[in-house]
């Protein structure tokens, strides 16, 4: 199943003034998803980037 992880590199980058896009890219780079019949590793990393970006944009409102 899915396991949430703390993306400390993202927190650190944001505290140093990184953009949301850069932070989302870090999250995707740090993710270590597994490929299965439903989705490839690349797709899951892309999804991590998109979902983290959306969450950060929403949190910054």
Residue 26's nearest CA partner among 44, 3, 52 is 52
47: which residues sit within 8 A by CB, 6+ positions away?
39
Q: How many CB atoms lie within 10 A of CB 47?
A: 14
Alpha carbons 35 and 44: distance in angstroms, whole number: 8
Q: Do the beta carbons of residue 6 and residue 27 sit within 8 Å?
A: no
Residues 13-51 have pLDDT tens digits of 999 999 999 999 998 888 888 888 989 989 999 998 999
User: Rounded to two decimals, what is the model's pTM?
Assistant: 0.81
What the block records as the tokens of 13 is 């980058």
Residue extents of the structural domains in the chain: 8-59
Q: Please check the confidence at residue 1 and state whether its pLDDT lies above 70.
A: no
């Amino acid at each position: 199943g899915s396991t949430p992880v703390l993306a400390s590199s993202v927190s650190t980058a944001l505290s140093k003034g990184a953009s949301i896009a850069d932070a989302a890219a870090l999250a995707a780079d740090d993710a270590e998803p597994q490929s299965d019949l439903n989705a490839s590793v690349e797709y899951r990393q892309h999804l991590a980037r998109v979902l983290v970006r959306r969450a950060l944009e929403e949190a910054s409102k």
